[in-house]
Every structure is written in structure tokens, then in C-alpha cells.
Amino acid sequence: MVLTSVQRPLQDLADVMQRFVRGEARVLCVETQPRLRSASIQVLRAAEHLADNRRPLLTVEIASAHDVDAAWETATDELRRVHAELREHGSPLAAITGRPLRTQGSANFAAQVLQCLGTVRAPACGLLLLIIPPSTGVEAAWLLRLGETIRNHRLVDARFMIVLGTSPAVGEWIASFERGTCVHQPCIVDEARATDELAGSIAAEEEMGPGFAGAWPRGVLPPGRSESAPRDAAKSLRVQVKRAALAMRADDGPEAIRCQAAARDLCLEHGRLRDAIAMELVLGAYMLQLGQHPLAIAAFEKAAQRAHEAEHWDLAAQGHLAAASTHDAAGDPTAALASYRHAIAAARSADDARLLFTAYWEAGAVALRLGLEIDCIALWGDAFAEAQARDVAQLRGTRAKDVTLELAKLLARYRRYSDAREVERAAGAFGASA
């Protein structure tokens, strides 16, 4: 079986991960692109099911990769939560005792790893930690602290897998480990090959219809298509979308915009309104990549308007969020704040916690930059109330915890210390952030 440009790096990662589990290295550092990040994490999570692995897997999602005590404290809390959850599901782990206290946040985290190691019971041996920092990136200083934790001789029975974005800092961090200690595995799509695959897919669909790729065997006719069947609108849509993507790869902006607009119009023509809105959002993204901020904003706002009219509230929220960030990038934070407020309303109607707390987070950040601290307290205060009204499971992977912690700091700045303490205490139950 020939692997695609996306499958190849993931298969390579799976092979390396299996060798890592069987080998002696302490760290597997995976450097990946945003498009492969989620799939890379799933590949690494599969380590717990390998026959050769005797180490319980603790997956620790890091809320903030900044080298500050609060971030490390939150990571320590998350490690304790994951340990307890794994134990409840039958993993050979004893209960952990009181929370370790040190003067420095990263020392707390290291002490907690050591404490977790002490709970491992036969037939298990040691621990395997999957560290997942936020997709927004990590500080070099935070990586340095993590490296110090990993090299701690008391944690020799713990192994670490970490997923990072592509950055020069990653190479420098890997170089800080002794030879043979750290395995570096890039998980990156071969762009030239991906472009060739896309071009081949377009050619195949134009010639033979959806679902066919590559050359048809010589001497064998492709399956016939009924003359009475209506023209395949789905085929035309797929081809237009792929043509647009291929044109963007080839830096042909006008052709990309033409094809993407044609895909949107085709959806409208056939009454596929939700798909049309999605096509409009992609059109706006292409405009943005081409540096056409006003046209991108117009596309995002048009998509949001269509979504409002059709009550597709999740797409409306996405449109407003995209318009807001583009306003901000274009130097108009006032317009950005207005769009973020629209996004909040739409996300609330959609009952989408991830979009809702993203909108609250971004709106508050813009309000602070505009010097509107009271407005920011009001926004994040509303977000805190929303978070308290939701089940904790709904908050994991959202910005709810980030919003709450920043609200506590802002309240303390205004000498509302009792409110700040109450908010900060509540934040501990909100789970790991996005």
C-alpha cells in the first residue's frame, strides 16, 4: 500500500514511538505542523496499548507553557488529576498522598512526578508521560525547566514524550540532552508530494469522477456512468475546492479566489447553505493569506450574516471570530472588540463552549489593550459565570481556565482580593486549557 503525504509522517512516527518504548532513550520529542498535531497526539497515545510497554501512560495537557510558578502549579494539578483518573480505571497505581510543596513551580512538578513514580505497582514498571503543551507555542525558558526536570536523576524511571510545534528553539533544546537520551522525530508533510497528489486527484476526478485517483489500468475501461443520471454537482464542488487549494500552493492568488468563489456559488445554486457558508469562510482565509484584509473581513462578515439568517450559530461564531482577528491584524482593535462581542453571542446560541470561551478570552485581551479594564472585568466576569454553570467536562480543552486565572489577577490589581481568591480557587476545577 502506497502511503499518502499525510499518512507517511504519521506511520514513521508510529514506528519511532514503538522503538522508543522498547529502547533506552528518556525523551521522544515530536516536532509537528498544526495540521498533523492532533493525529500525532493520537499516535503517541497508542503507546499505552503496546505489548512491549509496561509503563502506565499519563497524558498531561499543559494549560500554559510560560515559565511562571502559576503555570507549573496548574501542570502539577493536572498531573495529579490524570493519575487519579488512571487509577480509577484500574491501572496498577497506588493513591498519591498530599500535594508536594516547593518554592519553585517547576520543582513542584518534578516532585509530583517523583511521587507518582512511587505509586507504581507490579506488573507495571516506571511511568510514561505524554506532555502536550498548548498549540500556541512554548517559551524557551519553559522548555529549559522541563529539560531540567527530565534530567533529574531521581526521575530516571520516568520517560517523556512531548509534542512541539516547529521552531528553532526545539533543536536547541534537543541538543541540550546527552547523546542517545533524546529521540527527535519530525512529523511534517512533504509539501511537494502533497501538491503532486492534489494535482493528480483533480485530474482523476475530472476524467473519471469522484473516488478515482491515479491512472486507470491500461486496457481496462473505467466504470460507465449512466447518461440519465443528473450531473454530479458534488464532483464539480470537490474539483473547484481542490483547484483553489492547488492554486494557493502555486501562489496563484487570483485563480484560487476564482475557484473558491465558484465552489461557494455552486453550493448556493444547489441549496447547500451550510456548505456555502463554510466555502465563504475558506474564501476569506485565502484573502487573508494574500494580504487582502478588507476583502477577507467582507467575506467573513458575509459568512456570519448567512449563518445568522440560517441559524447556523456555530458557523456564525466562527465568522465573527475570523472577522475580529482580521480587524485586529489590520490595526482596528475597536472593530475587533465589536466582532468578538458578536462571536460571544453566536457561540452562546450554539452552546459551543470552545468557541464561547475563545471569544471571551480574545475580547478581554483586546479590551485590555484599549485600556478598557472595567469592560474586560465585565467580559471575563460573564465568562466566569458561564464556566460555573457548565459541567467540568465541557470546559476541558477550552480557554475557560485561562480566562478565570487572568480575571483573578485583574481583580487583585483593583484590590478586590476576596473576589480574586474566590475566582482563583474555582479555576482549579476547570480542567486543562486549549
Q: What is the pLDDT of residues 44-76, one digit of tens each?
A: 999 988 888 999 999 998 877 878 777 888 888
Q: Which parts of 91-232 fold into alpha helices (H)?
A: 105-117, 140-151, 168-175, 191-208
Q: What is the pLDDT of residues 15-42, one digit of tens each?
A: 999 999 999 999 999 999 888 899 999 9
The whole-number pLDDT of residue 214 equals 42
Sheet of strand 158-165, all strands in order from the earlier edge strand to the far edge: 57-61, 127-132, 158-165, 27-32, 182-187
Centroid of chain to Cα 74: 19
The whole-number pLDDT of residue 207 equals 55
Angle at 207 between CA 205 and CA 211, to 5 degrees: 30
**Among candidates 176, 192, 112, 180, which has minimal Cα distance to 140?**
176
Q: What is the pLDDT of residues 168-188, one digit of tens each?
A: 888 889 988 988 899 999 988
Q: Which of 23-37, 216-230, 277-291, 350-364 has the lowest mean pLDDT?
A: 216-230
60 has which bridge partners?
131
Q: Which of 80-94, 172-186, 227-241, 393-407 has the lowest mean pLDDT?
A: 227-241
CB atoms inside a 10 Å sphere around CB 117: 15
In angstroms, the Cα distances linking 414 to 56, 373, 408, 417, 418 are 45, 10, 10, 8, 11
Query: What is the chain's mean pLDDT, rounded?
Result: 85
User: Which architecture, in CATH terms, is 7-189?
Assistant: 3-Layer(aba) Sandwich (3.40)
The whole-number pLDDT of residue 316 equals 96
Helices (H) and strands (E) in the chain, counts: 18, 5
pTM metric for this prediction:
0.61
pLDDT for residue 217 is more than 50: no
- 433 CB-near residues (< 8 Å, 6+ apart): 61, 63, 64, 134, 397, 398, 399, 400, 401, 402
Cβ atoms of residues 17 and 43 within 8 Å = yes
